[in-house]
């Protein structure tokens, strides 16, 4: 181990949506914060911010009003993490994060009181709460059935304009598609990230505008797969709209999508500038609570490790993919602190026999139980450590994939946990 020793008030574990949001909220409070964690699921994500899209999940009931849905969810599932969060906290958290994205060149649109319906890469429609500005016009065009040209690109992997148009024939008869060659297209398959990086060039944009124009016809809007740049989406969208003379919008692509990459880049660039001390691409390898109550954490990678001493920790280490939880023959365990994990009694009960069981698989609701202050508790509801908090998808009693509440829950629980950290610092740890 290296001789380096860092100390801070708060260590945040995780660089997914929850960890990044927690880091932002903490530095906004002036809390001396270190963040450790590797690039996460966020790099794969759609960039949509879901609050609550479906409830009851077993009925697959799509929600138009997420707030009404959350009120009902709190009654139906009193252990769900949203039952520990007031609407004021959820709204404050979302407002802050959306403001952060907007200030850093990637504004979002949200209808605030209702969900927005958005197209998916397969031509289905999904409810979400906040959409990147690049997708915003899509919701309006879909609602108004605006005559629209969907531009597809030859050899773009996992995106088919024809399939989208076919799926939507009844709902959006004025949607038609054309398939063009992407400028400077290399041999083989085309990937969204490569296209998005190419779109950062004004020459490529001019070529795309010129290629689309002859196909416009009576279209009053143009849809593209989500490849409108990584860093300068505002400028790129503006130029395309000016060049084509109609509103332009993106449809999310299959994953890994450039939409997740955009968020990741914003966090990586702007959190350190806001004051977060970042130990990116490093993992917490061990954690010990010292005699004085502070945490001593070993943080590092293959090249070495250092010790971080922290007054408090917010654990946002995700689920199985993020590596916050690990499943093996013995059961499901939390990987850093060995915290108790709420889980089915035995492995046989992890999954239903029916893959598409309407109730969802019990393993997806496994995770950490927390108290009102978002601190992990044991099976009897007893607090484990007063200065250890948890947020994000590692929390138990939620199934974010089916409930369509991934980012919203991650952001709101991170906000609540950081508020509690701040409150706890008024007292001696």
Ligand X SMILES: Cc1cc2nc3c(=O)[nH]c(=O)nc-3n(C[C@H](O)[C@H](O)[C@H](O)COP(=O)(O)OP(=O)(O)OC[C@H]3O[C@@H](n4cnc5c(N)ncnc54)[C@H](O)[C@@H]3O)c2cc1C
Q: Which residues bind ligand X (CB under 6 A)?
A: 13-19, 36-38, 40-42, 44-46, 48-50, 255, 283-284, 316-318, 321-324, 335-336, 392-393, 406-408, 410
Nearer to ligand X, 104 or 407 (CB): 407
Cβ-contact 317, 338 below 8 angstroms: no
Nearer to ligand X, 135 or 141 (CB): 135
SS3 call for 190? strand
Cβ-contact 167, 193 below 8 angstroms: no
Q: Copy the structure tokens of residue 365.
A: 């609701």
Nearer to ligand X, 219 or 227 (CB): 227
Contacts of the segment 320-325: beta carbons below 8 A, 24+ positions apart: 321/41, 322/14, 322/16, 322/40, 322/41, 322/393, 322/394, 324/14, 324/393, 324/394, 325/366, 325/367, 325/394
CB of 93 to ligand X, least distance (A): 12
Nearer to ligand X, 27 or 45 (CB): 45
CB of 391 to ligand X, least distance (A): 7
- The answer for 60, left when phi > 0, alpha when psi is -120 to 50, beta otherwise, is left
CB of 51 to ligand X, least distance (A): 8
CB of 179 to ligand X, least distance (A): 26
Give the separation between CA 362 and CA 325, rounded to whole angstroms.
15
Nearer to ligand X, 244 or 409 (CB): 409
Q: Copy the structure tokens of residue 38.
A: 């590797």
| End-to-end C-alpha distance for the chain, whole angstroms | 27
CB of 428 to ligand X, least distance (A): 27
Strand 304-315 to 388-390 pairing: parallel
Nearer to ligand X, 146 or 264 (CB): 264
% helix, strand, coil for the chain, step of 5: 35, 25, 40
CB of 184 to ligand X, least distance (A): 28
Give the separation between CA 224 and CA 153, rounded to whole angstroms.
9
DSSP-assigned letter for residue 205: H
CB of 319 to ligand X, least distance (A): 6
Q: Copy the structure tokens of residue 82.
A: 């949203």
Cβ-contact 154, 133 below 8 angstroms: no
SS3 call for 161? helix
CB of 256 to ligand X, least distance (A): 8
Nearer to ligand X, 48 or 226 (CB): 48
CB of 285 to ligand X, least distance (A): 7
Nearer to ligand X, 207 or 298 (CB): 298
SS3 call for 299? strand
CB of 47 to ligand X, least distance (A): 7
Nearer to ligand X, 15 or 223 (CB): 15
Give the separation between CA 90 and CA 51, rounded to whole angstroms.
9
Nearer to ligand X, 278 or 317 (CB): 317
């Amino acid at each position: 181990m290296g001789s380096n020793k860092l100390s801070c008030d708060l260590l945040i574990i995780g660089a997914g949506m929850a960890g990044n949001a927690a880091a932002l909220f903490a530095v906004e409070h002036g809390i001396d914060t270190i963040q450790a964690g590797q690039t996460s699921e966020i790099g794969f994500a759609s960039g949509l911010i879901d609050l609550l899209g479906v409830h009851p999940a077993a009925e697959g009931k799509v929600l138009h009003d997420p707030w009404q849905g959350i009120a009902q969810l709190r009654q139906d599932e009193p252990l769900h993490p949203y039952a520990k969060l007031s609407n004021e906290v959820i709204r404050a958290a979302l407002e802050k994060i959306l403001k952060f994205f907007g200030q850093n060149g990637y504004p979002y649109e949200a209808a605030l009181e209702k969900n927005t319906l958005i197209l998916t890469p397969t031509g289905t429609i999904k409810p979400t709460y906040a959409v990147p500005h690049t997708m915003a016009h899509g919701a309006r065009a879909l609602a108004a059935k605006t005559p629209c040209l969907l531009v597809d690109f030859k050899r773009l992997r996992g995106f088919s304009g024809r399939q989208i148009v076919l799926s939507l024939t009844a709902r959006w008869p004025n949607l038609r598609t054309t398939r063009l060659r992407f400028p400077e297209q290399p041999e083989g398959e085309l990937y969204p990230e490569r296209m998005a990086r190419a779109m950062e060039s004004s020459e490529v944009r001019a070529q795309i505008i010129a290629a689309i124009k002859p196909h416009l016809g009576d279209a009053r809007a143009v849809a593209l797969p989500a490849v409108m740049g990584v860093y300068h989406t505002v400028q790129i969208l503006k130029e395309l709209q000016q060049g084509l003379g109609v509103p332009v919008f993106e449809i999310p692509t299959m994953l890994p999508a450039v939409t997740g990459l955009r968020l990741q880049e914003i966090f990586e660039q702007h959190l350190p500038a806001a004051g977060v001390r970042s130990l990116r691409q490093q993992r917490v390898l061990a954690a010990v609570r010292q005699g004085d109550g502070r945490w001593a954490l070993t943080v590092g990678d293959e090249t070495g490790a250092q010790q971080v001493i922290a007054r408090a920790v917010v654990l946002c280490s995700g689920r199985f993919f993020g590596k916050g939880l690990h499943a093996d023959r013995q059961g499901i365990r939390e990987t850093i602190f060995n915290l108790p994990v709420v889980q089915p009694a035995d492995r046989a009960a992890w999954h239903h026999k029916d893959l598409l069981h309407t109730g969802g698989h019990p393993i997806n609701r496994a995770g950490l139980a927390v108290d009102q202050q978002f601190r992990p508790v044991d099976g009897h509801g007893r607090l484990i450590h007063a200065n250890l908090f948890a947020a994000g998808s590692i929390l138990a009693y939620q199934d974010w994939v089916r409930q369509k509440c991934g980012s919203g829950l991650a952001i709101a629980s991170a906000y609540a946990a950081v508020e509690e950290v701040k409150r706890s610092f008024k007292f001696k740890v």
